[in-house]
Amino acid sequence: MGTRTGTGTGETTGRQQPRLPLSRERVLRAAVDLADRDGLEAVTMRRLAQDLGVEAMSLYHHVANKGAILDGLIEVVLEEIAEAADRAEAPPAGQDWQAALRARILAARQVLLRHRWAPRLLEERAALNPRLIGYFEGLLGILRAGGFSWDLAHHALHALGSRAIGFAQELFTPDDRDAAYDEATEMIAQMAERLPNLTGMLAEVMHNDPDSTLGWCDDQFEFEFGLDLLLDGLERRRAAGGPVRPRRS
Amino acid sequence: MGTRTGTGTGETTGRQQPRLPLSRERVLRAAVDLADRDGLEAVTMRRLAQDLGVEAMSLYHHVANKGAILDGLIEVVLEEIAEAADRAEAPPAGQDWQAALRARILAARQVLLRHRWAPRLLEERAALNPRLIGYFEGLLGILRAGGFSWDLAHHALHALGSRAIGFAQELFTPDDRDAAYDEATEMIAQMAERLPNLTGMLAEVMHNDPDSTLGWCDDQFEFEFGLDLLLDGLERRRAAGGPVRPRRS
DNA sequence: ACCTGAACACCGTTCAAGT
DNA sequence: ACCTGAACACCGTTCAAGT
């Protein structure tokens, strides 16, 4: 579609350099650029190689396969989100939990707007990514500091779900729910000292409901909880009357 | 993966029948079954043909191409949603808008849970589908009957967004926003008599903001509006204290 | 150690040919 | 009218070969 030189050193369009060597980092940077430009379906081994001025097979010396590239893309985005969320200025978390959460979520959104392909990828293959779990650990910490019970904080994470990270509906929809919950439980247990909030929440939720050691979330309940939050809030604004905002922001 | 006979009449596994002829309907039914069973990426022309006991090329006599099959899948799901939403028993809309909306949205959710592949497909290529627009027209009618201003009803649709139909974030994220909004505006105008609520909303929103004849939604504002609904609601439940629910439903 | 060309099993699709 | 086989331009990936 776009113009294409077809030869040369690809992204480094300067004069003939000694051909700087390929690396995992260069491959991932090119993949991010390609996905930002032309979407995720444009990220093929052959096109990526073309952008790098190299043959498709050369990529396999720096990444195991295409799946590793997709996982690398996830890593890049989650790093950007973590960085943006940490930079987001907000009150010291203990003071105003709403402002703290709001700032972090809006910062994450800015990253996702730069990488439109990211939500789908995160939904498809990031459920157990430690960095993503760490992000939710941070949100949970803010809720706890704001006075939330473990129970309510748990439901709050579900309700915020798609807004907190930009993907849809059920927060996680793995192929094998029970296995995925098992893996998540184990991962949190192994990182207990670094994930105090998630560990505490998990203990509470499983204590409240000893039957369901597997699958400790009731998706239908969580869906209705989030839906009712919205419906109640809308009813309140309706009853209050008046315009939603004076001018377009 | 699964067992596969490789020959015979496919889904009609009875004895040698006179080979009932292919049709668009049979192709779509087989495609829905295949997607339900093995996911959307399993829906290839060759595998679909295999399930139907036919060669891949035969499919092209009943559908224009693969895109037409995907659009057909969308049509099937939206029909099921419309049917389920209409069947959902609820108060006569004028009485209790929350119950009416809730019933329709939960009915839609049941359909989407049967077809896990549907949200992605809807998000990718159903933005301008008349049946989907008709579904939102119905939701908007409930809000209006419940006493919502056009303005607040508009924001309510955005806030419910992903929950109302099961897909994410921005409600619609077409490649070319302005062109898509243009098309949507035109489509609503052409169907004005069948879409009184959307027509009314559109007139109001464009009157309030005459600058933006194109792109009549401010995504950032809508995101924050929905986010704040959730944050306010969570704060209210937190302040109220007590468990969220006595037992697991 | 790093890169490559040919090849394989998959895609969607076209086209000329069969009944 | 309906179905098919061969072929084309794409995929991801393997493997033996080049430097």
**DSSP one-letter string for A154-176:** HHHHHHHHHHHHS--TTS---SS
In a domain, A65, yes or no: yes
pLDDT at position A166:
45
Could you give the CA distance from residue B169 to residue B219 in angstroms, rounded to a whole number? 9
Nearest to A159 among B218, B228, B230 (CB): B230
Identity at B222, one-letter amino acid code: E
In a domain, B248, yes or no: no
In a domain, A11, yes or no: no
First to last CA, chain B: 36
In a domain, A10, yes or no: no
Secondary structure of A40-52 in the HEC alphabet? HHHCCHHHHHHHC
Tokens 């292919």 -> residue? B22
In a domain, B245, yes or no: no
Residue A72: both structure tokens together: 């690398």
Please report how the helices B150-165 and B196-208 are oriented relative to each other, as an axis angle in degrees rounded to 10. 120
Summarize the confidence of residues A81-98 as an average pLDDT.
80
- Asked whether the beta carbons of residue A163 and residue B106 sit closer than 8 angstroms, the reply is no
Burial class (CB in 10 A: 0-12, 13-18, 19+), B204: middle
Tokens 């798609």 -> residue? A162
Percent pLDDT > 90 in chain A is 26
Best to test chain A binding among B139, B227, B236, B249 (most A CBs inside 10 Å): B227
CATH number at residue A159: 1.10.357.10
Q: How far is the CA of A239 from the C1' of C4 (A)?
A: 70
**Tens-digit pLDDT profile for chain B (249 aa)?**
333 333 333 333 333 344 567 899 999 999 999 999 999 999 999 999 999 999 999 999 999 999 999 999 999 999 999 999 888 876 665 678 888 888 888 888 888 889 989 988 988 888 778 888 888 888 888 888 888 887 777 777 777 776 554 444 443 455 565 676 677 777 777 777 777 766 776 677 676 665 554 455 666 666 666 667 776 787 787 777 666 654 343
Q: How far is the CA of B57 from the C1' of D3 (A)?
A: 8
Question: Residue A101 belongs to what H/E stretch?
Answer: helix A97-114
Summarize the confidence of residues A143-166 as an average pLDDT.
73
**Closest-CA distance of chain B to residue A29, Å:** 23
Domain count along chain A: 1
> What is the value of pTM for the model shown?
0.78
Could you give the CA distance from residue A143 to residue A165 in angstroms, rounded to a whole number? 16
- Asked whether the beta carbons of residue B238 and residue A168 sit closer than 8 angstroms, the reply is no
Q: Supply the range of the domain harboring residue A219.
A: 24-168+178-240
DSSP state of B211: T
Which nucleotides in chain D lie closer than 7 A to a protein CB? 2-6, 10-16
Per-residue burial over A63-87, b if 16 or more Cβ lie within 10 Å, else e, is: beeeebbbbbbbebbbebbbebbee
In a domain, A60, yes or no: yes
In a domain, A164, yes or no: yes
Nearest to B249 among A112, A147, A221 (CB): A221
Range of A37-41, A133-137, B177-181, B228-232 with top mean pLDDT: A37-41
Nearest to A122 by CA among A173, A157, A87, A159: A173
Residue B80: both structure tokens together: 């099921």
In a domain, A9, yes or no: no
Residue of higher predicted confidence among A42 and B219: A42
